[in-house]
Amino acid sequence: MSSETRNRIIEIIIDHHYSSGGKKMKVEKIASEAAISRQSLKRYYPDLVEYIKGNKNIDELLPGHEPSSVAQLLLKSQERVNQLELTLRQMEHKHEADISDIRDRYITSLMQGDLITFDNSNINLTLEKQSSLIGIYVAQIDQLKAQLTRATAQHAEGTLSALNGSRIVYDLNMKAANSAYKTNKDYLAYSNTKHEKIQNQLQKLTELTSENIHLVIFIDKYLCDLPYLLDKLPSNSSEEIVLRLPIYDTVALRGYIRKIPPTINVSIYIPECRSVADATAQRRFRASTVPPEELEQAEKADHVHLFKGVDRVVHFSVDGGK
């Protein structure tokens, strides 16, 4: 089995662990999502089976070993990238210096008429080893940069802490739930999954310690994409968290807001279309995998007004929604 398969299995294990609140995983389910058989998983990756069964700490699979948050993971990964890039530059310089030294010695020996026999095979072997090592460093750098990108843009449901002057995005990942609904048509199970994911996000918010955080709640009515909202948001000098929240009942929304620490400034952004026909067309275009019951709730969503715990409510017009 390839290292690519192993890395894919590790990503699936980590995603399941943190998105399900640490619930017990099944070997069959992990194997299915990794597109391999249960027997192959047990045969070729017995060490990973121990993490799936809960016999080992999942945090050991994270790069950098047990960071207190993905924010720290990003910092540790960036430090590692910087170290590798520095080592890479040093190796490249040494590589060039060795080639120049060999060339100079060869030319000098010819000019002096010395009968020197160069062991070409040893020289080539040395250069090949250096080139191979450089390639390894480049691969590690590319891998770490990919991890940084995924952690920043995709891994929003992990443990994130606000960074100074940064914008962090919590994009509720419902792809697996959408796929499950397509198979079993069980909307109750879909709703329970959505509720668990929302509660996990809320738990992350309550763990934030900074007192200068601006929380932007995006009430996703499936009329536009999250990047469309991000383009519209004004710049913010404080730490900013953008949260996609598909809640359409004001009572449930108020209950959610009440659990957010009072030190966090809250703004709510709600997309609107100019007509019902436009809204229907937008949902049909960009939410084909979402259960129809969910789209119906989004269509009948309560109108959100300013209330206690919320500093600003913004209704913005959607023009194409990207």
More confident residue, 310 or 18: 310
Do 39 and 76 lie in one domain? The reply is: no
With bands split at pLDDT 50, 70 and 90, how would you rate the model's confidence at 109?
Answer: low
> Does the residue 160 lie in any domain?
no
> Does the residue 158 lie in any domain?
no
Predicted confidence (pLDDT) at residue 83 exceeds the cutoff of 70: yes
* Average predicted confidence (pLDDT) for the chain: 79
Which of 221, 223, 228 lies closest to 282 in space, CA to CA? 223
With bands split at pLDDT 50, 70 and 90, how would you rate the model's confidence at 177?
Answer: very high
Distance CA 20, CA 136 (A): 35
Q: What is the pLDDT of residues 44-59, one digit of tens each?
A: 889 999 989 888 888 7
Do 282 and 239 lie in one domain? The reply is: yes
More confident residue, 170 or 313: 313
Predicted confidence (pLDDT) at residue 247 exceeds the cutoff of 90: yes
> Does the residue 149 lie in any domain?
yes
> Does the residue 322 lie in any domain?
no
> Does the residue 184 lie in any domain?
yes
Predicted confidence (pLDDT) at residue 309 exceeds the cutoff of 80: yes
Lowest mean pLDDT among 1-15, 71-85, 191-205: 71-85
With bands split at pLDDT 50, 70 and 90, how would you rate the model's confidence at 86?
Answer: confident
Mean pLDDT of 169-194: 92
Do 190 and 300 lie in one domain? The reply is: yes
Q: What pLDDT does residue 193 have?
A: 94
Looking up residue 196, the CATH number of its domain turns out to be 3.40.50
Looking up residue 31, the CATH number of its domain turns out to be 1.10.10
Mean pLDDT of 139-167: 54
Do 106 and 241 lie in one domain? The reply is: no
Q: What pLDDT does residue 158 have?
A: 41
> Residue 140 burial (CB < 10 Å; 0-12/13-18/19+)?
middle
Lowest mean pLDDT among 10-14, 98-102, 203-207: 98-102
Q: Which domain holds residue 92?
A: 70-153
Do 307 and 178 lie in one domain? The reply is: yes
With bands split at pLDDT 50, 70 and 90, how would you rate the model's confidence at 88?
Answer: confident
Q: What pLDDT does residue 68 have?
A: 46
Mean pLDDT of 91-97: 79
Do 22 and 119 lie in one domain? The reply is: no
With bands split at pLDDT 50, 70 and 90, how would you rate the model's confidence at 62?
Answer: confident
> Does the residue 295 lie in any domain?
yes
Instruction: Give percent of the chain above pLDDT 90.
Output: 27
Do 56 and 143 lie in one domain? The reply is: no
Q: CA-based angle 253:289:224, to the nearest 5?
A: 55
Count of the separate structural domains present in the chain: 3
Q: What is the pLDDT of residues 8-38, one digit of tens each?
A: 899 888 888 776 767 788 899 898 888 898 8
Instruction: Give percent of the chain above pLDDT 70.
Output: 75
Distance CA 223, CA 272 (A): 7
Run of H or E residues at 217: strand 213-218
Predicted confidence (pLDDT) at residue 321 exceeds the cutoff of 60: no
Residue type, 55: N
> Residue 51 burial (CB < 10 Å; 0-12/13-18/19+)?
buried
- Determine the number of helices (DSSP H) and then strands (DSSP E) in the chain: 12, 5
Neighbours of 208 (CB within 10 A): 20
Predicted confidence (pLDDT) at residue 322 exceeds the cutoff of 70: no
Distance CA 66, CA 58 (A): 9
Do 92 and 57 lie in one domain? The reply is: no
Do 27 and 133 lie in one domain? The reply is: no
Lowest mean pLDDT among 95-99, 112-116, 308-312: 112-116
Count Cβ neighbours within 10 Å for each residue of 68-95 and write b for 16 or more, e otherwise: ebbbbbbebbeebbeebbeebeebeeeb
Integer Rg of the chain from CA: 26
Which of 61, 252, 82, 48 lies closest to 158 in space, CA to CA? 61
